Amino acid sequence: MNYQFKFTQSAAGIFLLLTALISCSKKVESTYPNVEKITYSVYASGIVKSYNQYQVYSRANGIINEILVEDGALVKKGQALIKLSDASQKLSYENAQLLAKFSGINSNKEKLQQAQTEMEVAKLKMENELSLLDRQKKLWAQDIGTKNEIDQRELSYKNAASNYNASKLRINDLQKQIDFQSEQTQRSANISSTSLNDYIIKSEMNGKLYSLSKEKGEMVNTLSPIAIIGDATQFFVELQVDEYDISKLQIGQKVLLTMDSYKGQVFEASISKMYSMMNDKSKSFKVDAVFTKQPQNLYPNLTAEANIIIAVKDKAITIPRNYLLNNEFVLLANQEKRKVSIGLKDYEKVEILSGLTTKDQLFKPVQ
């Protein structure tokens, strides 16, 4: 038993000694400040979009009767893309045309002629009554006839004149009514014709059909997009910038872009537009960047990552970021904890404005 106990004590002692030796053999990492170029940038993510890219909507609800273009085809402004079934709308248009024709001036010539004839008859009767009145007055001047006969003639003349004036008003009213009905029904026919055009979905620009989400026989409505059209050759990148960084940006700043579709390559761009409304959900702002030299093959919705260059300093005293304590202290080789003033930062380095020289050896703090 004594032997076993002594052996165990010896083994434990050897283990502790080895641990101490290993610990002492670990070297503390150290470095010296360097004078080098440092770039301060803001990170953003985004997607590629074509110029004037828009979603195509139908102006009418209906079933797709015919698809006139293929996905990926080049299209012209005004070119028909899709035809919807429009049988019922055609009937409505034809009915509107018939009504317009029936209500037109040519179709109401008989009514106008009849009213004109009635007015002429009333005029002749009025003129005849006036002639009889003048004759009776002349007889009365010769003491022939009675005063009552003159009064009756005057009454007959007034009635005839009133009928004539009423017939003139009727023909004027009839003309106005026919003109109004003709114009109203023609407008209804024009509206119906315009609605008929809504069943043909057309391109609003010269460009490329990048996406077509419907097939023949499917139902479309006015609320859901059915295609995406954009410029065939010109693209830009739509970036999302965190609200914390938006105040640092301005038009024209340089942007370095990387894309999964072009791994290992970096493309230059510049900020062309900044949107002033923040997205409440993502807490980010939309920023557009245009390529300085555009890649040969691009497609809408390709993902991109960007570094927006805010400031560049060619000769700056820098140290690795992981040598900085609490953003204001460094640990010197003599175990002194010194306060420093910092400037620009990137993902790996931080600029030292004051507090260090290139001759100061630094120890890496234990994290």
Maximum CA extent, the chain: 180
Spell out the residues 6+ positions from residue 180 whose beta carbon is closer than 8 angstroms to its own: none
Instruction: Give the pair of three-digit tokens for residue 15.
Output: 């283990």
* 121 contacts 214 by C-beta, under 8 angstroms: no
The fraction of the chain above a pLDDT of 90, given in percent, is 49
- Mean pLDDT over residues 49-73, rounded? 91
Burial 131-156 (b: 16+ CB within 10 A, else e): ebbeebeeeeeeeebeeeeeeebeeb
Q: Which of 11-20, 48-57, 159-168, 322-331 has the lowest mean pLDDT?
A: 11-20
Q: What is the pLDDT of residue 171?
A: 81
Is the pLDDT reported for residue 311 higher than 60?
A: yes
- The number of helices, as runs of H, and strands, as runs of E, in the chain is 4, 20
Using only the alpha carbons of the chain, give its radius of gyration.
47
Distance from C-alpha of 73 to C-alpha of 207, rounded to nearest angstrom:
9
Is the pLDDT reported for residue 74 higher than 70?
A: yes
- Mean pLDDT over residues 3-15, rounded? 45
Q: What is the mean pLDDT of the chain?
A: 84
Distance from C-alpha of 90 to C-alpha of 80, rounded to nearest angstrom:
18
Task: Tell me which residue of 184, 194, 195 sits closest to 102, measured CA to CA.
Answer: 184
For residue range 94-112, list pLDDT tens digits in order: 565 666 666 555 666 777 7
The fraction of the chain above a pLDDT of 70, given in percent, is 83
Q: Which of 13-27, 287-301, 352-366 has the lowest mean pLDDT?
A: 13-27
More confident residue, 345 or 105: 345
Q: What is the pLDDT of residue 292?
A: 94
Q: What is the pLDDT of residue 12?
A: 45
Is the pLDDT reported for residue 295 higher than 60?
A: yes
